[in-house]
Structure 1
Amino acid sequence: MVGAAELSLLGPDNPHLAELEVAVAPAHQRAGVGRSLWRAAREAAVADGRDTVVGEVYASPDSGGAALAFATAMGAVSVHQEEHLALELDRAATPPDPDAARDGYTVVAWGGRCPDEHLAAYARLRTRMEHDVPQGELDRRPIEVTEERVRAREGRLSPSYDSLVAAARHVVSGELVGYTQLLVPHGETEVVQDDTLVEPEHRGHGLGARLKRVNLARLRVEHPGATAVHTWTAPDNAPMLRTNLALGFVVVERMHEVQARLGEPPRR
């Protein structure tokens, strides 16, 4: 096997959309393998009634590179960009955050399955994340995250990842008002920093940074073999970018979300 294409047909919230990943072994690139895989994936998407394909392309921060050139040749355009940042854990200073109430907020943490008592609030926060996350001109519609969808996602993740969630609880109201999540792949040392959200009316208290510090401290204790954490932040998301840089993350490359309309095949 010298290459592969993986086509994901999105659910009823985005019936027009498919996600595509194309990978070709370096020794077999520039021989038409990627183009053949793209054509096969395009045919499958069109046959299923999809009119748009999206995917991720990685490049150096200051140049496009071969992957972006390939996507462009296939008719895709870059519609959103994010910085890919990495944190080397042996160089990071992330002392644990005190659990006592501070500035009117406490931290609630769990691993894997969300406790039933927090499920409704967690689903609400994940729905807010769907609507708030920057995505440029990407033609993806936000979904309403129900309690059932939270449980379904946990079921999909658990065979491959350990999940660490830290959430901020507003002391006066008792409501959860923010969360962050780390995904630790089984048998791997590279960790993914997933969503981080604080509701707008509770921003300005350093909650995003606090939640991330708590989770990084938990990561060191519960997964001592972890070596690095990766995250993605839109360049115009200045508050989160500042938070990540202050924690010791550094920009390593640029991620382009590319999008192709399937009305016409790519030029030959």
Structure 2
Amino acid sequence: MTQVMTGVQGIPTKEFPRMTRIVPMYRVSAENATAWHAVVVASLASDLSDEPRPTSKQVHAQLTAGGLDSRRLFWLATETGGAVVGVAGLRLFTSPGQDHLAELELHVDPDRRRSGVGSQLLATAVLAAEVEQRRSLITAAASGGPGEAFCTARGFRRVLTLDHLLLDVAQADDTEADIEHPGYELVGWTGTVPNELAEAFAAAKNAMNEMPTGDMDYGNQTWTADRVRAMAKVLADRGDLLLTTAALGKGEMAGYTEIVIRAGETRRALQYDTAVVPAHRGRGLGLWVKAAMVCRLRAEHPGIVEIETDNAQDNTHMLAVNRRLGFRFHCRTHEYQLDLPTT
């Protein structure tokens, strides 16, 4: 027997086997987290075979720790007997400037692909986004992977291309860290920003609103001292370690860079934001703070041997900075957007 799904904007109506059920995950039990982790690992192993797999602890933290200015909905695709063959998470942004936006993560066990499981999960997530009155749904797909064809066939359009780069920490060119920049000084902290720097840090983070986002309907974020503290708490609640190095000058924070070491990570750090405030650009501060961060990682976290970052292809300045440090091309992903009907 079959059940007929109602057509959703951009998604053709089709029949799905009744044996697959989409179940909301209201509570993240240990069993559910284990099943979610297994699907994600299998999906990534198939699509991104060279990428490190998230640990079960990292996945559990992702599912249970609250996000910054957002809330999340989760679904499991289960078969008769309770086996989980697909998962989907929908992040609903709630802050002014981004409350039109939803972000989708969707994985299907490779053995159950092309059987309607992904389409069922997507239709469920799209319906939820419409109920929440979102106008844009974004998701990411590996270049050349099955996610590209999946998105294109279901009405998504490609809105941004990201090049992912890797830096060998041992081989990085950190000479810029020793170059003096008259009128500026370096400061650094771990976790939450010190109170005396919180307002200046928030002002500097607002420069991230100028980052290239292609044709994505990403919106804007407004950073305050309370919000930067909240962001640090989100990461701490996941068990992640946040490192920040910043340049101070002319009575304000001129630029900064952030690195995150995920809970349980023993090899790779993730580059988070790097920004230079417009009035201080053209002085090499971005390269300076990033080179200083490399030195800091070597000294404080010698087990971390590589840093991963991503850059929009048209972010030529930051790509040049990263290449100067020694970052090399690793892989490419695309951001896709589905435009939802609005009332």
TM-score by length of 2: 0.71
Amino acid at match of 1:178: G
Quote the Cα distance in structure 2 between the aligned partners of 1:116 and 1:58.
40
Aligned match of 2:126: 42
Check the 8 A contact 1:81/1:255 in 2, yes or no. yes
Partner of 1:3: 86
Bigger CA radius of gyration: 2
Q: Following the alignment from structure 1 to structure 2, what is the Cα–Cα distance between the partners of residues 12 and 163?
A: 22
Q: Paired residue for 2:196?
A: 117
In the alignment, structure 1 residue 182 sits paired with structure 2 residue 259: yes
Q: Is the 8 A contact 2:162 2:313 kept in 1?
A: yes
8 Å CA contact 2:242–2:261 kept in 1: the answer is: yes
Question: Which residue of the partner structure matches residue 200 of structure 1?
Answer: 278
Alpha-carbon separation, structure 2, partners of 1:241 and 1:16: 30
- Greater RCO structure (CA 8 Å; 6+ sep): 1
Name the CA distance, whole Å, in 1 between partners of 2:261 and 2:133: 35
Separation in structure 2 between the aligned mates of residue 29 and residue 58 of structure 1, nearest angstrom: 16
Please list every run of 5 or more consecutive structure 1 residues that lacks an aligned counterpart in the other structure.
none
Paired amino acid for 2:166 = A
- Whole-Å separation in 1 of the counterparts to 2:146 and 2:168: 27
**Superposed displacement of residue 263, structure 1:** 3.0
In the alignment, which of 84, 91, 103 is matched to residue 182 of structure 2? 103
Aligned counterpart for 2:326 among listed residues 240, 248, 263: 248
3-state SS in 2 of match to 1:30: coil
| Distance of 1:91 and 1:2 partners within structure 2 | 41
Q: Distance in 2 between matches of 1:122 and 1:3?
A: 40
TM-superposed deviation, 1:190: 1.8
Matches within 5 A, 1:27-176: 27-59=111-143, 64-94=144-174, 97-98=177-178, 102-129=181-208, 131-160=209-238, 161-170=240-249, 173-176=250-253
Q: Which runs of 5+ in 2 are unaligned?
A: 1-83
Q: What CA deviation, in whole Å up to 9, does each residue of 1:9-44 have, x standing for no partner? A: 111322222110111222322222211111111121
The farther-off stretch of 41-50 and 85-94 is 85-94
Compute the RMSD of aligned alpha carbons: 1.9
Residue 228, structure 1, aligned to residue 306, structure 2 = yes
Q: CA offsets, 1:197-247, max 9 Å, x none?
A: 112222222111110111111112222221321111122221211111121
Count of paired positions: 256
CA distance in 2, matches of 1:204, 1:194: 21
Matched, 1:16 2:100: yes
